[in-house]
Amino acid sequence: MEVPPCTKCGSPSIIFQRYSGLHLCKKHFIEDVERKVKRRIRKKRMIEQGDKIAIALSGGKDSSALLILFKKIIKMRKDVELVAISVDEGIAEYRPKTLEKAKSLADKLNVPHIIRSFEDVYGNSLDELVEKAEKRYGWMRGCSLCGVLRKRLLNNISREIGATKLAVGHNLDDEAQTILMNYLRGDVERLLRLSPRKEREEFIPRIKPLVEVPEKEVALYSLLHGVEIEHEECPYASESYRFDVRDFLNYFEMGHPGTKYSLLRGYEKLIDMIGVMDTLPKEFFELSSCVRCGEPTSGKMCKVCEFLEKLGT
């Protein structure tokens, strides 16, 4: 079957966006991605004068695209600094390969790069922690543990280096999955905290410049910029709740293009309405300090310490 040419210029197209009805050639596809990212950065005021931006770089397609995009976007700005930070969770057969890619991309783009491991900070790799959990409790989702420990570590490294923002490579699919997961779990608090209004100074503000770009397009953007895509998935990914939600959303998107965008837009409208109505008590966003480590938490003990205590670490 003949592939229709680029809707914008008539050159051979490389992608069809079902949600927009556009066929795009390489040039117009790259422009489209960069336009969406720049628009998001402007709308949410993600880059400000004097910023030192920590880029969470796993070496996968999303974080690689993020670093490439940031390098292009701040090319002319001498007042903004970038530092790439990577976390080595300790996932044998998986993480070492992506860390190698992270190192070589940061080198190629001449961006300072910091790597810190779970082993150094928490005393055990993720594989060891999961093994401990299996012995004690029979089973624990690797992703639940990993997500909490990694988020803390990224925040702490950013804080240590004096970063003013922490940029993460969440794409449209990730964000739509997170929103839907919270709806499905009925976790309204977590849903609202996706966009917290009151930040404590211990938290480095997280920015997500790629949330308007679908995962498939982030992958293609990376590929077109020479990033070698790792097709092997993390061995723990298939156990996660997110994995099921991802399949469900992809199935739904096939029949109803634009569903992921609708979820994101709907969520953002909801947050805006709450912001305007200002109906939530301020205690809702207030945090105390963890009794074990002193980090901010909504309960007595933070999630990191809860996990580590449970595992006797």
Q: Which range, of 13-21, 141-149, 264-272, 297-305, touches ligand SF4 by CB under 6 A?
A: 141-149
Determine, following the binding rule CB under 6 A, whether residue 237 of this chain makes contact with ligand SF4.
yes
- Name the residue nearer to ligand SF4 (CB basis): 158 or 240: 240
Cα→Cα distances 123→60, 126, 290, 292, Å: 25, 10, 20, 16
Q: Does 80 bind ligand SF4 (CB under 6 A)?
A: no
Least distance to ligand SF4 from the beta carbon of 95, Å? 7
* Contact stretch for ligand SF4 (CB under 6 A) within 181-189, 231-239, 260-268, 285-293: 231-239
- Which residue is it, tokens 């790799």? 125
Q: Which stretch binds ligand SF4 (CB under 6 A): 19-27, 77-85, 101-109, 143-151?
A: 143-151
Between 89 and 212, name the residue whose CB sits nearer to ligand SF4.
89
Which of 203/241 has CB closer to ligand SF4? Answer: 241
- Out of 71, 73, 117, 147, point to the residue binding ligand SF4 (CB under 6 A): 147
DSSP-derived secondary structure for 222-281: HHHTTPPP--PPPTTGGGSHHHHHHHHHHHHHHHSTTHHHHHHHHHHHHHHHHHHHT-S-
Burial 201-239 (b: 16+ CB within 10 A, else e): eeebebbbbbbbbbbebbbbbbeeeebeebeeebebeeb
Query: Among 59, 60, 142, 169, which residue sits at the site for ligand SF4 (rule: CB under 6 A)?
Result: 142
Q: Name which position in 47, 57, 67, 143 contacts ligand SF4 (CB under 6 A).
A: 143
Considering the complex, state which of residue 237 and residue 280 has its C-beta at the smaller distance from ligand SF4. Answer: 237
Q: Which is nearer to ligand SF4, 46 or 140 (CB)?
A: 140
Length of the chain: 313
Sign of torsion, CA 287 179 185 141?
Answer: negative
Beta carbon nearer to ligand SF4, 234 or 290 = 234
Supply the minimum distance, in Å, between the C-beta of residue 189 and ligand SF4. Answer: 21
Q: Which is nearer to ligand SF4, 51 or 127 (CB)?
A: 127
Exactly one of 236, 245, 303, 304 binds ligand SF4 (CB under 6 A); which one?
236
Q: What is the dihedral of CA 91, 95, 99, 105, to 10 degrees?
A: -160
Q: How far is the CB of 126 from ligand SF4 (least distance, A)?
A: 6
Question: Binding to ligand SF4 by residue 234, rule CB under 6 A?
Answer: yes
90 in contact with ligand SF4 (CB under 6 A): no
Q: How far apart are CA 1 and CA 192, in angstroms?
A: 46
Which helix (DSSP H) or strand (DSSP E) does residue 181 occupy? helix 172-185
* Min CB(225)–ligand SF4 separation in Å: 23
Rounded distance, CA 152 to CA 302, Å?
A: 10
- Which segments of 46-171 does DSSP mark as H helices, in order? 61-73, 95-108, 118-122, 126-137, 142-160
* Residue 116 parent element (H or E): strand 113-117
* Least separation in angstroms between CB 152 and ligand SF4: 13
Burial of 250 (0-12, 13-18, 19+ CB in 10 A): middle
Which residues are CB-neighbours of 263 under 8 A, at least 6 positions away?
A: 176, 179, 180, 249
d(CA 38, CA 31): 10
Task: Find the shortest distance in angstroms from Cβ 238 to ligand SF4.
Answer: 9
Give the binding range for ligand SF4 (CB under 6 A) out of 49-57, 153-161, 234-242, 258-266.
234-242
**Could you list the residues that contact ligand SF4 (CB under 6 A)?**
89, 142-143, 146-147, 234, 236-237, 240
